[in-house]
Chain A
Amino acid sequence: MPSLHELQSSFADALFAGETRVHAAIRGGALPPAERVAIYRNNVREGFAKALDAAFPVIHQLVGEEYFRQLARDYQAAHPSTRGNLHHAGRALPGFLRSRFRGTPHDYFADVAALEWAWQEVAVAADAAPWDASVLAAWPADALPGLRFRLHPAFALIRSPWPVHAIWLAHQPGGDPGAVNLAAGGEALAVHRVGERIRLTPVGDAEHAFLAELLHGRSFGEALDAALALDPSFPLDATLARWIGFGAIAGLHGDPR
């Protein structure tokens, strides 16, 4: 009998690489070892595809059942699961789709997948206590540009040259996939939680730049400069009030309180 490690390694080689070394350790009987291993190989593929389907229902609709299965198989070969929890399995799919479809009419698949993955991440991100924005009043005005906001852990930004939000909406229950106009231009949106609920909120270019700077840990002053560079009349107060109202700001880095 091979050691436990050797037996399991040869079994995995059979599942993932079609090697036959493990067959000698398997009782045949009514069914040859290769057919028995194939049952497991199929189960492993099915489980992986099911996890991808749960995370990327819009991509599934866009490519269709047959292609989705092939895609899941190709993606699994390139990015096999590395965790005991399949919920992580889709992390690299946006990049995989980007490589596969770059320069094709389906270039937008990658951005739709990025939106779906952001939804998955935001759904399970940590909670944060509501932040009391009145603490800002305690800071001298000349200190404000140097402050760095800490955004809620359940906050992500998506920007695409494609109308990804419209595509996503059209593929929700009751949506009309036929109504999507791919030539409608790009969109930016925030994927975030308000309480327990996940929201997709469209944002303008300057607002996106402002939030992206904050998300990457840069100062309030830098974020404002980035927004003003795109829109000299960027409505700072209204924008801040909106995102504080959504609970998207969780605090200040280095808050002395």
Chain B
Amino acid sequence: MNRPAPGPVPAQAGIGLRAPHHAELIASAPDVGWVEVHSENFFAAGGSSLVVLERVRDRYPLSLHCVGLSLGSADALDEDHVSSLARLVDRIEPALVSEHVCWSAIGGRHTNDLLPMPFTREALRHLEQRVQHVQERIGRRILLENVSSYIEFEDAEYTEWDFIAELARRAGCGVLLDVNNVYVNAMNHGFDADAFLAGMPPEAVEEIHLAGHLVQEIAGATIRIDTHDRPVCDAVWRLYDRALARFGPIPTLIEWDARLPALETLVADAHAADARLRKHHAVAA
């Protein structure tokens, strides 16, 4: 149990691990570079979930991905939630810790969703302080992920990419670039996805997410919804290639959260990402 964890997350593809695959992953130890889990699924005082996570951590570099800190909320930070994360980080010693550029709760009302930020100076200052606070509490740098959105607010003072780049610069955090979310937002809001990539500081991008999304017709308009319930689409794979061209080979996660396929499908997706990563390793070498 006290074996040192495998080293940092390699510039290979990993998979998002969800409960239905826990036992099979441990038993079959598939060939993937690393594994990511949702931190909140392991906020247990004891019991088997933590034992399972330690077994995974002993076999694979592990990333803890948070979905519930509500960093962008105007509510006070939930210090109990931060403490739960700090305890988990101390016990598991993950290779990476990440959260989202979003808010989830206000006035004690929790949506448990990743809601869009207004890209304003006030919001940027607020996030900067909160990210720094969490980094101090858990004693390490975190990565922040761009989220899919279906709304843009009037009177934005930054583009999404400038907001995130500036946040990373001011708070000293890294960027978890979700290429699917970049594509979804570019299509939903009519911006150029490559402008988003060009706006990210290359030194800040430490992880990439890939996932599937749903194309939905609502009231005569086409909206892309971030569902994580289907394969990565071709346009997102192409955007991923352009991201690798700009940022070099970066640890890349295949994420499914709904209509979870067989573990071997996730592994096959990861190998498809690895094939693309290898081309850029070759270029980088």
Let me know if B152 and A27 touch, CB within 8 A. Answer: yes
Contact among A8, A25, A30, A123 for B106, CB-based, below 8 A:
A8
Is B284 an interface residue, CB under 8 A from the partner?
no
- Closest Cβ of chain A to B50, distance in Å, is 9
- Closest Cβ of chain A to B247, distance in Å, is 29
A254 to B118, CA, bound (A): 55
Let me know if B47 and A123 touch, CB within 8 A. Answer: yes
Contact among B104, B126, B222 for A84, CB-based, below 8 A:
B104
Is B223 an interface residue, CB under 8 A from the partner?
yes
The 8 A CB mask of B137-169 against A (1 = contact, 0 = none) is 000000000000011111100000000000000
Cβ contacts under 8 Å, B69 to chain A: 84
- Closest Cβ of chain A to B156, distance in Å, is 8
Is B4 an interface residue, CB under 8 A from the partner?
no
Let me know if B107 and A26 touch, CB within 8 A. Answer: no
- Closest Cβ of chain B to A5, distance in Å, is 4
Let me know if B151 and A26 touch, CB within 8 A. Answer: yes
Is B237 an interface residue, CB under 8 A from the partner?
no
Let me know if A5 and B106 touch, CB within 8 A. Answer: yes
Let me know if B44 and A31 touch, CB within 8 A. Answer: no
Contact among A15, A87, A123, A154 for B111, CB-based, below 8 A:
A15
Cβ contacts under 8 Å, B44 to chain A: 123-125
Let me know if A4 and B190 touch, CB within 8 A. Answer: no
The 8 A CB mask of A121-152 against B (1 = contact, 0 = none) is 01111111000000000000000000000000
Q: Give B1-41 interface residues, CB cut-off 8 Å to A.
A: 40-41
Contact among A27, A81, A125, A198 for B110, CB-based, below 8 A:
A81
Known: A4-B123, A8-B73. A16 touches B47 (CB 8 A): no
Cβ contacts under 8 Å, A81 to chain B: 109-112
- Closest Cβ of chain B to A39, distance in Å, is 5
Q: Give A187-218 interface residues, CB cut-off 8 Å to B.
A: 193, 196-198
Cβ contacts under 8 Å, B120 to chain A: 1, 4
Count of interface residues, chain A, beta-carbon cutoff 8 Å = 53
Cβ contacts under 8 Å, A128 to chain B: 46
A125 to B68, CA, bound (A): 20
Let me know if B112 and A37 touch, CB within 8 A. Answer: no
Cβ contacts under 8 Å, A123 to chain B: 44, 47-49
Q: Give A1-46 interface residues, CB cut-off 8 Å to B.
A: 1, 3-5, 7-9, 11-12, 15-16, 24-27, 29-33, 35-37, 39-40, 43-44
A86 to B112, CA, bound (A): 7
Is A257 an interface residue, CB under 8 A from the partner?
no
Let me know if A154 and B106 touch, CB within 8 A. Answer: no
Is A82 an interface residue, CB under 8 A from the partner?
yes
Let me know if B110 and A196 touch, CB within 8 A. Answer: no
Is B282 an interface residue, CB under 8 A from the partner?
no
What is the interface of chain B, defined by CB distance below 8 A to chain A? Answer: 40-41, 43-49, 51, 68-70, 72-74, 78, 81, 84, 103-113, 115, 118, 120, 122-123, 126, 150-155, 189-190, 218-223, 225, 258
What is the interface of chain A, defined by CB distance below 8 A to chain B? Answer: 1, 3-5, 7-9, 11-12, 15-16, 24-27, 29-33, 35-37, 39-40, 43-44, 47-48, 50-51, 80-87, 89, 122-128, 153-154, 193, 196-198
Given A8-B106, A31-B218, A122-B47, 4 more pairs with CB closer than 8 A: A32-B219, A124-B45, A124-B49, A125-B47
